[in-house]
């Protein structure tokens, strides 16, 4: 068996891990690089599977940094199948089309700027083609994906439909187990069930996004969120929330719902200004079987968990533009989560120079993104090529992270101390991976190492 990572190795985006076993080529995820526009564009165009020579894809979840270049496989002749969970399939149908529209829009912008034609990475034609190849597999149902290799999806507790694929096969007469962690969720998070806790494997590809730090306890979310809303409302300001359309937006609205039920925040209008988020929230309503017990209790007590007293889900551009003239306190959620594109840029431009307002960051911000510069509280930030003073208050609420923190990652990795031949760390920046590796080695995990990009590991 040989494993080669073509993304999410010493980085947190572009997840692509090729597993070669018994003559088969199995791709775990096919994600898009995200970050600095020029660097990300170069990496995404340097696609490692131009020959389409992949037998099958096993997709852990729908986030674009894990699924976003699947249509490029279709463009390059891939005719195999993409195995994933039903919820992930439904989400990809929406998110990949949205991504295609972004690629086409960016291509038009670059072509105009550079005075030469720049083709998009893919269009909706390739999205529709790759969606024809999706095969849905529920949690805990083993299925043979190529001759002699079986996959079972286990609940990763990260986002709706997220999975840890377990691959089982025979090699040299021995039974072998490979676990790909995908992105591991936090325990006790709202909406979803806790992540699966595996007990045995020969090889583990394990994420380390937050390998160097823990999150605030999830129990602190309501109090901190109530404080931000109440203080901003009292000074007549708006709370601007850059949000990832999948999971984080739904968790945030659900947190507001719980505060509203307890009368801990004033009656304040909430605007979800993102057509993608609106569509994804509808997918959540289709998969209530994946919700945890707490979520079900809230649904029994007050109905739809994503409806508030004063909430408006915005699809059309005209309604979005009207928010520019809003003078009263409000909460505005808008994509994208790292502030690199989308309607959030307009809301940041219109509100970042007013000290009455608050920019509330609730998700991971990769290096070289506008979101990271806001978290760093740089005095000036550039939006649409124009510098703006960052006068608004900046707050972070990292307890809502969909990723396991350092302590949970160490506990996950320790389970394989005397069991796995290799524990390979992926999906993390250098500082996080080095810190996590040192901690695991201190716990006796001599089998742990950091996966390097494009360097095959043979087992």
In degrees and rounded to multiples of 5, residue 148 shows phi and psi of 85, 0
State the span(s) of the chain assigned CATH 3.60.15.10: 2-213+402-458
Q: How far apart are CA 133 and CA 135, in angstroms?
A: 7
Q: How far apart are CA 121 and CA 138, in angstroms?
A: 31
Which residue in this structure is represented by tokens 């993102």?
Answer: 274
Asked if 209 and 432 count as a contact pair (C-beta separation under 8 A), the reply is: yes
Residue 355: which residues within 8 A CB-CB, separation 6 or more? 391, 392, 393
Compute the mean pLDDT over every residue in the chain, rounded to the nearest whole number. 95
pLDDT tens digits for range 353-363? 999 999 999 98
Is the pLDDT at 452 greater than 80? The verdict is: yes
Asked if 294 and 285 count as a contact pair (C-beta separation under 8 A), the reply is: no
Best CA proximity match to 243, nearest among 343, 152, 108, 107: 343
Asked if 277 and 335 count as a contact pair (C-beta separation under 8 A), the reply is: yes
Specify the pairing of strand 134-136 against strand 143-146. unpaired
pLDDT at residue 342 in the model: 87
pLDDT at residue 373 in the model: 95
Confidence of residue 282 (pLDDT cuts 50, 70, 90): very high
Confidence of residue 366 (pLDDT cuts 50, 70, 90): confident
pLDDT at residue 40 in the model: 87
CB atoms within 10 A of CB 225: 25
pLDDT (mean) for 119-140:
97
49-53, 194-198, 432-436: which has the minimum mean pLDDT? 49-53
Is the pLDDT at 400 greater than 90? The verdict is: no
Is the pLDDT at 395 greater than 90? The verdict is: yes
Is the pLDDT at 421 greater than 90? The verdict is: yes
Provide the 3-class DSSP secondary structure of residue 162.
coil
pLDDT (mean) for 423-431:
97
DSSP assignment of 14-66: --EEEEEETTEEEEE--PPP-SSHHHHHHHHHS-TTTT---SEEE-----HHH
Give the largest Cα separation in the chain, rounded: 70
Q: How far apart are CA 436 and CA 100, in angstroms?
A: 35
pLDDT at residue 98 in the model: 93
pLDDT at residue 112 in the model: 86
Residue 296: which residues within 8 A CB-CB, separation 6 or more? 288
Q: How far apart are CA 433 and CA 12, in angstroms?
A: 10
Which CATH architecture is the domain 218-400 placed in?
3-Layer(aba) Sandwich (3.40)
Beta bridge partners of 174: 171
Is the pLDDT at 36 greater than 80? The verdict is: no
Structure tokens at 384: 């649409």
Higher pLDDT, 399 or 132: 132
State the span(s) of the chain assigned CATH 3.40.50.10890: 218-400
pLDDT tens digits for range 235-279? 999 999 999 899 999 999 999 999 999 999 999 999 999 999 999
pLDDT tens digits for range 143-164? 999 999 999 999 999 999 999 9
pLDDT at residue 91 in the model: 98
Task: For 2-213+402-458, give the CATH class.
Answer: alpha beta
Is the pLDDT at 35 greater than 80? The verdict is: no
């Amino acid at each position: 068996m040989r494993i080669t990572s073509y993304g999410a190795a010493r980085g947190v985006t572009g997840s692509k891990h090729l597993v070669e076993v018994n003559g088969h080529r199995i791709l775990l995820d096919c994600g898009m690089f995200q970050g600095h526009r020029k660097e990300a564009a170069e990496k995404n165009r340097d696609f490692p599977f131009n020959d389409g020579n992949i037998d099958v894809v096993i997709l852990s979840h729908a986030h674009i940094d894990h699924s976003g270049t699947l249509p490029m496989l279709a463009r390059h002749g891939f005719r195999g199948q993409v195995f994933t969970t039903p919820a992930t399939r439904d989400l990809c149908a929406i998110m990949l089309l949205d991504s295609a529209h972004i690629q086409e829009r960016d291509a038009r912008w670059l072509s105009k700027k550079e005075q030469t034609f720049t083709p998009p990475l893919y269009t909706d034609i390739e999205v529709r083609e790759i969606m024809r190849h999706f095969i849905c597999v529920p949690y805990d149902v083993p299925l043979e994906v190529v001759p002699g290799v079986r996959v079972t999806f286990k609940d990763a507790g990260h986002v709706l439909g997220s999975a840890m694929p377990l691959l089982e096969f025979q090699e040299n007469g021995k039974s072998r187990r490979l676990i790909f962690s995908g992105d591991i969720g936090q325990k006790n998070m709202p909406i979803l069930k806790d992540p699966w806790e595996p007990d045995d494997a020969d090889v583990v590809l394990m994420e380390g996004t937050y390998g160097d730090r823990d999150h605030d306890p999830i129990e602190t979310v309501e109090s901190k969120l109530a404080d931000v809303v109440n203080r901003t409302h009292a000074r007549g300001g708006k709370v601007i929330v850059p949000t990832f359309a999948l999971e984080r937006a739904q968790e945030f609205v659900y947190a507001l719902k719980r505060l509203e039920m307890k009368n801990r925040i004033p009656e304040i209008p909430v605007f979800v200004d993102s057509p993608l988020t609106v569509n994804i929230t509808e997918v959540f309503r289709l998969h209530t079987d994946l919700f945890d017990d707490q979520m079900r209790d809230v649904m029994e007590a007050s109905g739809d968990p994503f409806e508030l007293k004063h909430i408006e889900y915005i699809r059309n551009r005209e309604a979005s533009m009207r928010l520019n003239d809003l003078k009263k306190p409000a909460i505005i959620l808008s994509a994208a989560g790292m502030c690199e594109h989308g309607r959030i840029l307009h809301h940041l431009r219109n509100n970042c120079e007013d000290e009455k307002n608050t920019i509330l960051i609730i998700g991971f911000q990769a290096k070289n993104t506008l979101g990271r510069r806001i978290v760093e509280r740089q005095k000036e930030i550039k939006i649409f090529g124009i510098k703006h003073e960052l006068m608004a208050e900046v707050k972070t609420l990292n307890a809502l992270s969909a990723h396991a923190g350092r302590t949970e990652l160490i506990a996950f990795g320790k389970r394989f101390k005397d069991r796995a031949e290799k524990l390979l760390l992926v999906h993390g920046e250098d500082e996080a991976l080095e810190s996590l590796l040192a901690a695991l080695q201190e716990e006796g995990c001599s089998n742990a190492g950091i996966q390097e990009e494009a360097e095959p590991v043979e087992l």
